[in-house]
Amino acid sequence: MSTTMKIVATDAFALSDAERHEIEHEIGHYPDARAASIEALKIVQKHRGWVPDGAIAPVAAMLGIPAADLEGVATFYSLIFRHPVGRHVVKVCDSIACHLTGFEEVRDALVSALGIRFGETTPDGRFTLLPICCLGACDRGACLMIDDDLHGPVDPSRVKQLLEPYA
């Protein structure tokens, strides 16, 4: 008796030409393509807003590394988003210096202003709220980042004004 195995493609993910081009360009900067892992993931995230599971294998293939290795990088690096996020991502530092300088008040003000908790996205898709470890601006605590903009020290009473420019 013979059996026939039918392989059905369930993952329709494909890197765009632009993503491939930019990743190839980035790889060219390093003697070892593996060193471009984070930048390659950031390129996908720049184009899509996040890094879908399906992106891991084709990006790893371009880098010439096992997909599991790239998955490890993508999981470890907190600025790589593995789920869809809002148009703007608010990352609130919850490390020790910011804890001592008002993290809880800033978090509570954000939760109140946005109506969401950490890990959630507003229903209108405008903001995602995430905790993050030290942003390297400990002298500006309590601090946070909105997209690529660092804010701090943040006055909890002015959180709404801080969010306004991010439409």
Q: Which residues bind ligand FES (CB under 6 A)?
A: 93, 95-98, 134-138, 141, 143
Residue 47 near residue 90, CB atoms below 8 Å: no
Nearest residue (CB) to ligand FES, 65 versus 138: 138
Nearest residue (CB) to ligand FES, 15 versus 98: 98
Nearest residue (CB) to ligand FES, 32 versus 149: 149
Beta carbon of residue 145, minimum distance to ligand FES (angstroms, whole number): 10
Query: E strands within 49-148?
Result: 88-93, 127-132, 144-146
Return the SS3 of 146.
Answer: strand
Residue 82 near residue 72, CB atoms below 8 Å: no
Beta carbon of residue 96, minimum distance to ligand FES (angstroms, whole number): 6
